[in-house]
C-alpha cells in the first residue's frame, strides 16, 4: 500500500501524512551540493564595495580649464588697482618704439618727454607698474595654492581607489574560482579611474605652469620700469 501511495504522491495526486512519508537519505553528491549552496555565496550575493564611478570623480582638467583665460586687465581689476594718469603698459609701448636706442638714450628720451608734458609724471608709471607686479605676484600665489589643494584632492582620490580595490580584491579572493573574473574587472576599473584622475592632475599642472610662465613674462616686462626709473636708494 505504501508503494502505491508513494507513486500517487509523486504524481501529486495525493498528499502523504508525516507517518506515510518515507525517510529520505541524502546521497553524498546531494549532500555536497546542499553544503556548497549553504556556505558559498552566489555571484549575485557577493558583497564588494563599489569603486567610485568615473562620473563621481572631480575633473581637474575641467576645473582648471579657465585658468589661462583670465586677462591681465581682469587680474588688475580684481586687485582694485586705481587708474593711472599714464599706465605702465602705455610706457612699455613707448619703450618698445625706442628699442633701437641704447638703454641710457632711451631713458633720457622718456625723461625728456616727462619733463615736456605736465599731464603725467614718470612716478605715475612707476607706481602703476609696482602695483601691477604685486597683483600678478598675488595671482601666482593663489594659483599655487589652488594647485596644492588639487594635488591633495587627487592623492586622496587615488588612495581611496587603492583602498577600495584592496577590499574588493580581498573579498573576491575568498570566493570560488568562477568569481576570478569579477576581481579582474575591479582591477581594470580601478586602473582606469586612477588614470583618469592622474590625467586630470597632469592637465591641471600643465595649465598652471603655462599660466605661471605667461605671468612671469609680463612681470619681466613690467620690471623694466622700476629697474629703469626707480630713484636710487639713499646712501648709494
Q: What is the 3-state secondary structure (H, E, C) of the chain?
A: CHHHHHHHHHCCCCCCCCCCCCCCCCCHHHHHHHHHHHHCCCHHHCCCCCCCCHHHCCCHHHHCCCHHHCCHHHHHHHCCCCCCCCCHHHHHHHHHHCCCCCHHHHHHHHHHHHHHCCCCCHHHHHHHHHHHHHHHHHHHHHHHHHHHHHHHHHHHHHHHHHHHHHHHHHHHHCCCHHHHHHHHHHHHHHHHHHHHHHHHHHHHHHHHHHHHHHHHHHHHHHHHHHHHHCCCCCCC
Question: Do residues 198 and 59 make contact, with C-beta atoms less than 8 angstroms apart?
Answer: no
**Residue 17: inside a domain:** no
Residues in contact with 162: Cβ distance below 8 Å, sequence separation at least 6, in sequence order:
190, 194
Flag whether 49 is in a domain: no
Residues near 137 by Cβ (< 8 Å), separated by ≥ 6? 219
Instruction: Write out the three cell numbers for 39.
Output: 556556505
In a domain, 178, yes or no: yes
Max CA pair span of the chain? 134
Residue at 197 is within a domain: yes
Residue 207's domain comprises 58-229
pLDDT at residue 25, as a whole number: 43
Asked if the structure places residue 235 within a domain, the reply is: no
| pLDDT at residue 168, as a whole number | 81
pLDDT score at 59:
52
218 Cβ neighbours under 8 A, 6+ residues apart: 72, 136
Residues of the chain with pLDDT under 70: 1-67, 175-177, 179, 235-236
Q: Is 113 a domain residue?
A: yes
State residue 137's pLDDT score: 95
**Domain count for the chain:** 1
- The whole-number pLDDT of residue 97 equals 87
Instruction: Note the pLDDT of residue 126.
Output: 92
Residue 6 maps to a domain: no
Residue 25 lies in a domain: no
Amino acid at each position: 500500500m505504501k508503494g502505491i501511495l508513494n507513486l500517487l504522491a509523486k504524481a501529486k495526486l495525493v498528499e502523504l501524512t508525516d507517518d506515510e512519508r518515507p525517510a529520505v537519505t541524502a546521497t553524498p553528491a546531494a549532500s555536497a551540493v546542499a553544503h556548497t549552496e549553504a556556505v558559498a555565496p552566489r555571484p549575485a550575493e557577493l558583497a564588494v564595495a563599489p569603486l567610485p564611478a568615473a562620473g563621481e570623480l572631480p575633473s581637474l582638467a575641467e576645473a582648471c580649464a579657465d585658468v589661462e583665460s583670465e586677462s591681465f586687465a581682469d587680474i588688475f581689476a580684481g586687485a582694485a588697482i586705481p587708474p593711472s594718469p599714464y599706465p605702465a603698459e602705455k610706457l612699455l609701448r613707448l619703450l618698445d618704439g625706442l628699442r633701437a636706442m641704447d638703454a641710457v638714450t632711451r631713458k633720457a628720451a622718456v625723461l625728456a618727454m616727462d619733463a615736456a608734458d605736465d599731464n603725467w609724471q614718470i612716478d605715475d608709471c612707476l607706481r602703476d607698474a609696482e602695483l601691477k607686479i604685486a597683483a600678478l605676484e598675488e595671482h601666482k600665489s593663489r594659483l599655487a595654492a589652488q594647485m596644492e589643494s588639487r594635488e591633495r584632492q587627487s592623492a586622496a582620490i587615488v588612495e581611496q581607489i587603492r583602498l577600495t580595490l584592496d577590499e574588493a580584491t580581498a573579498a573576491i579572493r575568498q570566493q570560488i574560482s568562477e568569481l576570478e573574473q569579477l576581481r579582474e574587472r575591479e582591477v581594470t576599473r580601478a586602473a582606469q579611474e586612477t588614470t583618469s584622475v592622474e590625467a586630470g592632475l597632469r592637465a591641471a599642472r600643465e595649465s598652471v605652469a603655462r599660466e605661471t610662465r605667461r605671468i612671469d613674462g609680463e612681470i619681466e616686462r613690467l620690471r623694466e620700469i622700476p629697474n629703469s626709473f626707480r630713484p636710487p636708494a639713499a646712501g648709494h
